[in-house]
Chains A and B, each alone.
Chain A
Amino acid sequence: MSESIFVKDLNVWFDKNHALKDVNITIPKNEITAIIGPSGCGKSTFIRCINRMNDLVTKCKVTGEVKVDGQDIYDKDVDVVEVRKNIGMVFQKPNPFPKSIFENIAYAPRIHGKDEDKSLRGTKVSKYSKKELSDLVERSLRRAALWGEVKDRMEKSAYELSGGQQQRLCIARALAVDPQVILFDEPCSALDPIATAKIEDLLVDLKKDYTVVIVTHNMQQAARVADKTAFFYLGELIEFSETKKIFESPGEKLTEQYITGRMG
């Protein structure tokens, strides 16, 4: 498997708080990588570095190298808009826009326009026609396994959906800008077990086309869906390997303590 995300010597400070320390990790393409660890270990901080969401936090300082598809996303010449288009994100709590179901999906593609030619990303952009846009919305909703449930009420407010449906809507919204990587920041922590199972099925299905990174508090969830698992503790990457190995024969004592519930 080829690499998708390559991280070297990543350090993050929030003011004086050293949140991530010398993280080195290579996340493979078209696999699910789970990030686990106790609260405050830097899991969310880590994935927010991958799409530069930490830029929004004042007094946040990032050093090191993060390469996505070979490109250093912290390079001065990089357009952060392109970075975030290429790397979708789904958040802890479903956060649909206060718009209709259709508009939630159509929002970003309509503003970005379509790329006629992938190799000329951003240079040759034209607007979607009405038909293309509604096709794109349908395709995204189908991909997120939500189409059947919403196709008759596309003009209704997204807030009328259940929590699990809202979260799948947010996934569809991220898919609509055609990213390579999708980051999930504890996507199921606000959902019931049935909604969670649906999202997990979806994750496994999505890895065929996308690289998936998921932060989770739920170790069973990591064990169920992830190909590889990374364990973070106090801002450091303690261990990263096959999920099976992490859960059955962890190489580090800390990892073992965490997964057996003696810590965190």
Chain B
Amino acid sequence: MAHKRRMTAKRRRFYDSSIFVILSIVSVFAILVLVAVAAFLLINSIPAFTQVNQWGFFTGTVWDPTNPIEPLYGMVPLLVSTLIVTFVSALIAIPIGLGATIYLAEIAHPKIRKVMKPAVEVLAGIPSVVLGFFALTVFAKFMWEAFAPAWRPSDYLNLFNGAVFLAIMMVPIMVSLSEDAVNSVPRSLKEASMALGMTRWETVWKVIIPAARPGIVAAVMLSIGRAVGETMVVVMATGSSPQLTFDPFSSGQPITSTIAIEMGEVAANTPHYYVLFELGLVLFAITFALNYVADWAMRRHTERYQ
């Protein structure tokens, strides 16, 4: 009997440690992939540091990499396009996303919530190429003709067109994540507030949203990160013309579009090729920073209140 028990203990220890080892390997692998991607971008963009004027890259206002006389690699028009598209889409998506979150979490009847939440999450699953197609064929035409002849966008395909569909992609992510954050606010806090004679609206505004704020901030940041990195919609909807413009209703070409469009045509190991990798590095830095801010917002909460 004693002998048998010792064997099972040994066996249990073996299972225990092998699970530990397997999980460690899996998680290390996930980190390795991230490191590998970053290294790949960095290594491929190192030649650009010497072959392309870096001052010109970061401050140049003309992106004309195929100019036979003097190729110009100014990323400012691309960055501005990315920022406009992101900013406008955030401007559209944040109010809608937060409104929908509060409605779903606090106002909607449970029956409605049961239908709405999965519906919103399905929306997140629409392939971006489908949205891009819709932007290209339907919405661009609508914008062009809706207020004509009094007003037309500066270009038929424009940054605003892309931003609208990025917003459509952002809303479900934001709602899904921030609704979780609002729902994880303990019921006891809501009861405490109601018992003090607060109305439902005062409770939502003064107790529930502040308590869920870090989660909401994280949701917003992650969805903005999604907008910055999204490619297909902007390739199809924004007109792909790398001009420096601050008008959201004219064509533009965000960083992601540029990489997607030009990488297929560029000759390998040329300055243009390396610069595209450097653009990827810039994009990576932006999304990394956004994710870091989201993470920081969540951490700050746990340090302060738990």
Interface residues of A, Cβ cutoff 8 Å to B = 51, 53, 56, 58, 81-85, 88-89, 91, 93, 95-99, 107-108, 111-112, 157, 159, 170, 173-174, 177
Q: Which residues of B contact A107 (CB under 8 A)?
A: 193, 196, 206-207
* A93 engages B196 (CB within 8 Å): no
Complex interface: chain A residues within 8 A of B207 (CB): 97, 107
Please indicate the chain A residues that have their CB under 8 angstroms from the CB of B192 in the complex.
91, 95-97, 170, 173
Chain B residues near A85: list those with CB within 8 A: 196-197
Query: With an 8 A cutoff between CB atoms, is B56 at the interface?
Result: no
Interface residues of B (CB under 8 A from A): 110, 186, 188-199, 202, 206-207, 210-211, 304-306
B200 and chain A: residue at smallest CB distance: A56
Which of B110, B189, B199, B211 interacts with A58 by CB under 8 Å? B110
B195 x A53 contact (CB < 8 A)? yes
Let me know if B188 and A98 touch, CB within 8 A.
Answer: no
Is A98 in contact with B196, judged by CB distance below 8 angstroms?
no
Contact indicator B305/A98 (Cβ below 8 Å): yes
Structural contact, B202 and A51, CB atoms closer than 8 A: no
Structural contact, A53 and B191, CB atoms closer than 8 A: yes
Look across to chain B and name the residue whose beta carbon is closest to the beta carbon of A58. Answer: B110
Identify A91's interface contact among B188, B198, B206, CB under 8 A: B188
Contact A84 B188 (CB under 8 A): no
Given contacts A84-B194, A97-B207, 9 further A-B contacts (CB under 8 A): A53-B194, A58-B110, A81-B199, A85-B197, A97-B189, A98-B211, A108-B196, A111-B202, A157-B304
B198 partner residues in chain A, CB cutoff 8 A: 81, 108, 111
Q: Check B197–A84 contact: CB distance below 8 A.
A: yes
The winner among A83, A84, A177 for most chain B CB atoms within 10 A is: A84
Docked-complex contact B306 and A95, CB < 8 angstroms:
no
Rounded to whole angstroms, the CA-CA distance of A108 and B207 in the bound complex is 11
Q: In the bound complex, what is the Cα–Cα distance between A172 and B199 (angstroms)?
A: 20
Considering the complex, give the chain B residue whose CB is closest to the CB of A99: B210
Majority secondary structure of chain B interface residues (helix, strand, loop or mixed): helix
Distance between Cα atoms of A175 and B305 in the complex (Å): 24
Asked whether, in the complex, the Cβ of B194 is within 8 Å of the Cβ of A95, the reply is no
Chain B residues with Cβ below 8 Å from A95 are 186, 188-189, 191-192
Most chain A CB atoms below 10 A, which of B188, B194, B306: B194
Question: Which residues of the partner chain B approach A93 to less than 8 Å between Cβ atoms?
Answer: 188
Select B197's contact among A98, A99, A177, beta carbons within 8 Å.
Answer: A177
Is B305's CB under 8 angstroms from A84's CB?
A: no
CB distance from B232 to the nearest CB of A (A): 40
Contact A89 B189 (CB under 8 A): no
List A contacts of B193 (CB < 8 A).
Answer: 97, 107
Q: How far is the CB of A220 from chain B (nearest CB, A)?
A: 26
Cβ contacts A to B, 18 pairs, < 8 Å? A53-B191, A56-B190, A56-B194, A81-B198, A81-B199, A82-B197, A84-B197, A89-B195, A91-B192, A97-B207, A97-B211, A98-B211, A98-B305, A107-B196, A108-B198, A173-B192, A174-B196, A177-B196
Which residues of chain A have C-beta atoms less than 8 A from B194's C-beta? 53, 56, 84
Bound complex: CA A159 to CA B305 (Å): 6
Q: A196 to B102, alpha carbons, bound, how many Å?
A: 38
Please report the C-alpha to C-alpha distance between residue A81 and residue B304 in the assembled complex, in whole angstroms: 31
**Which B residues are CB-close (under 8 A) to A96?**
192
Nearest B residue to A84 via CB reads: B197
Q: How far is the CA of A91 from the CA of B186 in the complex (A)?
A: 13
Closest B residue, CB atoms, query A82? B197
Min distance, Cβ B304 to any Cβ of chain A, angstroms: 6
Using Cβ atoms and an 8 Å threshold, which residues of chain B touch A111? 198, 202, 206
Return the 7 tightest CB-CB contacts between A and B, nearest first.
A85-B197, A95-B188, A89-B195, A108-B196, A84-B197, A98-B305, A95-B192
Is the Cβ of A108 less than 8 Å from the Cβ of B197? yes
Least CB distance from B185 to A in Å reads 9
Contacts of A177 in B (CB 8 A): 196-197
**Would B110 and A84 count as touching, CB distance under 8 A?**
no
A107–B206 Cα gap in the complex (Å)?
9
Could you say which of B189, B191, B192, B196 has the most chain A C-beta atoms within 10 Å of its C-beta? B196
What are the residues of chain B within 8 A of A98 when measuring CB–CB?
189, 210-211, 304-305
Residue of A nearest to B306 (CB): A159
* Complexed CA–CA distance, A88 and B197 (Å): 9
Q: How far is the CA of A93 from the CA of B191 in the complex (A)?
A: 12
Give min CB distance, B63 to chain A, whole Å: 48
**CB-CB < 8 A to B211: which residues of A?**
97-98
Chain A residues near B305 (CB-CB < 8 A): 98, 157, 159
